[in-house]
């Protein structure tokens, strides 16, 4: 009998939600869900805790965000929070987390999920995770593939191979972000799924694969295990983590393995890639406006408005704007320009105003 764990990867940083997401507070720590209160991290942990029990949920995040994680997840055991001194992408993160889980249970099976997607149908999500964990217990790495709803060129795809058991297919190939044309063929063909970065694996199987493909990381894991035995893991991690190769689990391990399976699923997954996406996911008022700000909207529609508590935002005669006030910075842009927020960051940096980034 295996023991199941979740590893919630909360180490990301990003600029698409400036000015709310800053170096000090990336996207996963923002309340971008429908009710505008629960953060993406809180929702991710809540869903996995409902499936596996909170004791079984590990969170990997940056040491810079230790306080935020404690604050947002007050009931999560401190031992379940793994703090990276610096982000090294997902391969080091998951190898280290797998080592942790294996120390707790030699037969650990892990569901690894990013902290920041939105999940529309939590029932269907639970069933997909359950199925992928079961598939992983037999040995292979089991990814979750999202049935595409549009010809998206911003995601990687999984090409489907033969069915191995009900609802479980072999992965024929990992496909990089496609051109528009190719994405449209994928959508029509029905043979490709979005790679949403969720996968399940046995800790021992993943660590064997790491040894095969990333031997330096494998050696680190053994040193970490040895250090943990004498209560000195934190010092080892502080000393060595930054020197690990920065590489994703997809590129470093999965694309080099042949025994990868996929559970096709459809559960209202959204990667919440921009303020426009957050607007789409948010609950709207009668005028079609949304956001956590106290609003007064007169002849104003389709606006997404965030502001600190106690601040009133009055909109008159405007349409489809994003207005985000964080106290020291304010962003105003049309919703359909939300993917351009990165330009603001660049312009701030190039004009010497890094303090606002």
- Would strands 321-325 and 304-306 be described as parallel, antiparallel, or unpaired? parallel
x/- track of binding to a second copy for residues 10-49 (CB under 8 A): --------xx------------------------------
Instruction: Tell the smallest beta-carbon distance from residue 307 to a second copy (Å).
Output: 7
CB nearer a second copy, residue 210 or residue 331: 331
Instruction: Tell the smallest beta-carbon distance from residue 321 to a second copy (Å).
Output: 7
Q: Does 315 bind a second copy (CB under 8 A)?
A: yes
CB nearer a second copy, residue 265 or residue 331: 331
Instruction: Tell the smallest beta-carbon distance from residue 291 to a second copy (Å).
Output: 12
Instruction: Tell the smallest beta-carbon distance from residue 66 to a second copy (Å).
Output: 28
- Sole binder of a second copy in the list 23, 222, 353, 354 (CB under 8 A): 353
Evaluate whether 76 touches 57 at the Cβ level (below 8 Å). yes
CA distances for 320 relative to 177, 282, 287, 335, angstroms = 29, 14, 11, 6
- Sole binder of a second copy in the list 212, 242, 347, 354 (CB under 8 A): 347
- Sole binder of a second copy in the list 181, 188, 332, 354 (CB under 8 A): 332
Q: Does 311 bind a second copy (CB under 8 A)?
A: yes
Distance CA 64, CA 320 (A): 35
Angle value at C-alpha 349, between 343 and 350, nearest 5 degrees:
85
Q: Does 321 bind a second copy (CB under 8 A)?
A: yes
Residue 269: phi, psi to the nearest 5? -75, 140
- Sole binder of a second copy in the list 50, 79, 232, 298 (CB under 8 A): 298
Q: Does 351 bind a second copy (CB under 8 A)?
A: yes
SS (H, E, C) 29-83: HCCCCCCCCCCHHHHHHHHHHHHHCHHHEEEEEEHHHHHHHHHHCCCCCHHHEEE
Q: Does 244 bind a second copy (CB under 8 A)?
A: no
Distance CA 78, CA 70 (A): 8
Distance CA 318, CA 297 (A): 9
CB nearer a second copy, residue 200 or residue 297: 297
Distance CA 240, CA 220 (A): 8
Q: Does 329 bind a second copy (CB under 8 A)?
A: yes
Angle value at C-alpha 330, between 66 and 70, nearest 5 degrees:
15
Q: Does 277 bind a second copy (CB under 8 A)?
A: no
Q: Does 296 bind a second copy (CB under 8 A)?
A: yes
Instruction: Tell the smallest beta-carbon distance from residue 18 to a second copy (Å).
Output: 8
CB nearer a second copy, residue 203 or residue 307: 307
CA distances for 285 relative to 190, 214, 296, angstroms = 36, 51, 11
User: Which residue ranges make up the site for a second copy (CB under 8 A)?
Assistant: 18-19, 296, 298, 307, 310-318, 321, 323, 325, 327-334, 337, 340-341, 343-344, 347-348, 351, 353, 356
């Amino acid at each position: 009998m295996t023991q199941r764990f979740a590893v919630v990867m909360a180490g990301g940083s990003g600029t698409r939600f400036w000015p709310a997401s800053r170096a000090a507070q990336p996207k996963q720590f923002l309340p971008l869900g429908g009710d505008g209160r629960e953060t993406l991290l809180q929702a991710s942990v809540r869903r996995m805790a409902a499936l596996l029990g909170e004791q079984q949920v590990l969170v990997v995040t940056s040491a810079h965000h230790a306080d935020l994680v404690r604050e947002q997840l007050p009931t999560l055991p401190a031992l379940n929070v793994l703090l990276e001194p610096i982000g090294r992408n997902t391969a080091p993160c998951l190898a280290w987390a797998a080592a942790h889980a294996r120390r707790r249970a030699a037969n650990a099976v892990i569901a690894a999920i990013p902290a920041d997607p939105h999940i529309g149908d939590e029932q269907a999500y639970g069933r997909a995770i359950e199925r992928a964990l079961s598939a992983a217990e037999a040995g292979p790495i089991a990814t979750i593939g999202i049935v595409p709803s549009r010809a998206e060129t911003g995601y990687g795809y999984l090409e489907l191979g033969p069915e191995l058991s009900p609802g479980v297919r072999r992965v024929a190939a990992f496909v990089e972000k496609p051109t528009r044309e190719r994405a449209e063929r994928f959508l029509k063909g029905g043979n490709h799924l979005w790679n949403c970065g969720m996968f399940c694996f046995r800790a021992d199987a993943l660590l064997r694969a790491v040894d095969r493909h990333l031997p330096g990381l494998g050696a680190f894991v053994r040193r970490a295990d040895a250090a943990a035995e004498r209560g000195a893991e934190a010092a080892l991690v502080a000393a060595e983590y930054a020197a690990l190769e920065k590489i994703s689990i997809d590129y470093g391990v999965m694309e080099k393995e042949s025994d990868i399976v996929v559970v096709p699923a459809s559960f209202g997954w959204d990667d919440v890639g921009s303020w426009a996406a957050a607007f789409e996911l948010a609950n709207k008022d009668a005028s079609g406006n949304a956001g956590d700000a106290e609003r007064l909207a007169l002849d104003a529609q389709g606006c997404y408005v965030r502001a600190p508590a106690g601040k009133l935002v009055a909109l008159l005669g405007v349409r489809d704007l994003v207005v985000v006030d964080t106290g020291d910075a304010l962003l105003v842009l049309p919703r359909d320009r939300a993917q351009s927020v990165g330009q603001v960051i660049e312009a701030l940096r190039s004009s010497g105003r890094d303090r606002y980034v």
